Amino acid sequence: MKKVTIVTLNFNGWKDTKRLLESIRKLSYKNIEIIVIDNGSKDESVAELSKEKDIRFIPLTTNTGFTGGCNLGVKEAKGEYVALINNDAVVEKEWLTELVKELEANPDVAIVGSYIENKHSTARHSISKTVGTETLAGFYAKYPDASISDEPRKLYGLSGCSLLFRKSEIPHPYENVYFAYHDDAYLSWKTRLKKREIMMVPKSRVHHEALAVIRRDKKLKKYLTMIAERNRILNILLFYQAGNIILLTPYFIATTIIYNIFAPQKILRHIIAYAWIITHPFWIFSKRRQIQKSRQCKDNAIMRLMSGKLFEESNVPKSFAGTMKVLNSISLAYVKLIGIRTAEH
């Protein structure tokens, strides 16, 4: 039984973290190390979590974000495998056993993840929802074949809520600059460019509160609104082949315009995100060059697992769903016309 280091982050949420720890202590898989990173909490988190004697507690003085905290946790991990789990989650008894079993049985798989029941959001792998993916522009969409069973399934990517991977293969999963949001898509792209597989394991189940941090911290929520849009665009600029960026530019522009029409309250934060992109060309070019050097497959191998829709019809206002269905038909026709195969084709 290989040792697994379980890493979770805490930010002003020690009660959530303690609930997670209680569920971890009931796991059937016993060869574990638990690391809790506190991301500069201002509440009683440090005092409360310092009382937990069976964990490695690492308090930080500043908030390094989800990406920085996870990267530190992986670096500090002593286990051969590393499991990342959100602190506002509760895991079932076989959560880790099922993940380890599938990772060991599939040498072509780099990352396995859980089947997540989200209480407060529609996420791509929820027990109450269908199996999903991302659009070419980085928004949620359903797979055409979205049936759910207990059989493991290879997907484009996984939610960062619950993941397991080999530390030797992924010693630094995220880009620190991202801070949070679309970091899971970053990891999915980086993994798939190396021709490695990603698998969801339905028997590994997680009950996730979701959005716990931003519901407590309105100031942070505003910042994350900007970060999310910036990171979505960064993934496009960093990972796609140059030719595909050019071909898909009309598609990317259309999704961005529609998104801002749907969420006018976010436009100011989005403008700040676009300004960040414009003012950091050297960082983007440098990071892109680094990522592209690791490429072992073309975009087509990845895009066939993604959606060519603009937006999922169920994710737009009901009054606009009919119009979106028509726009999606046009989008899918355009994507097919330029020679890109997506999950719908």
Q: Where are the domains of the chain?
A: 4-214, 217-337
DSSP 151: S
Residue 56 to residues 11, 120, 181, Cα–Cα distance (Å): 16, 30, 26
Residue 3 to residues 21, 33, 167, Cα–Cα distance (Å): 17, 7, 11
- Tokens representing 156 are 């484009």
DSSP 287: H
| Distance from C-alpha of 325 to C-alpha of 151, rounded to nearest angstrom | 31
Which residues are registered as beta bridge partners of 153?
200
pLDDT at 324: 95
| Distance from C-alpha of 292 to C-alpha of 289, rounded to nearest angstrom | 5
| Distance from C-alpha of 55 to C-alpha of 92, rounded to nearest angstrom | 19
pLDDT at 28: 98
| Distance from C-alpha of 299 to C-alpha of 212, rounded to nearest angstrom | 35
Phi, psi of 9 (to 5 degrees): -115, 150
DSSP 53: T
Which CATH number among 3.40.50.720, 3.10.105.10, 3.90.550.10, 3.30.70.2080 corresponds to the domain 4-214? Answer: 3.90.550.10
Residue 131 to residues 115, 142, 299, Cα–Cα distance (Å): 9, 6, 22
Encoded amino acid at 159, one letter: S
pLDDT at 217: 66
Going by their DSSP bridges, the two strands 32-39 and 56-60 should be labelled as parallel
Site of tokens 């059937």:
28
| Distance from C-alpha of 232 to C-alpha of 183, rounded to nearest angstrom | 9
| Distance from C-alpha of 167 to C-alpha of 206, rounded to nearest angstrom | 22
Residue 96 to residues 1, 191, 260, Cα–Cα distance (Å): 12, 21, 40
DSSP 98: H
pLDDT at 126: 39
| Distance from C-alpha of 249 to C-alpha of 83, rounded to nearest angstrom | 37
Cβ–Cβ < 8 Å for 108, 280: no
| Distance from C-alpha of 35 to C-alpha of 58, rounded to nearest angstrom | 7
Q: What is the mean pLDDT of each run of 10 residues along the chain (345 residues)?
A: 97 96 98 98 96 96 97 98 97 98 97 86 42 89 73 90 97 97 96 96 90 67 94 98 98 96 95 98 98 96 96 89 95 97 92
| Distance from C-alpha of 42 to C-alpha of 61, rounded to nearest angstrom | 10
Cβ–Cβ < 8 Å for 196, 110: yes
Residue 230 to residues 84, 181, 278, Cα–Cα distance (Å): 24, 9, 10
- Residue-level length of the chain: 345
pLDDT at 150: 84
Using DSSP, state whether 243 is helix, strand or coil: helix
Cβ–Cβ < 8 Å for 151, 200: no
**pTM given for the model:** 0.92
Cα 189 to chain center, whole Å?
Answer: 11
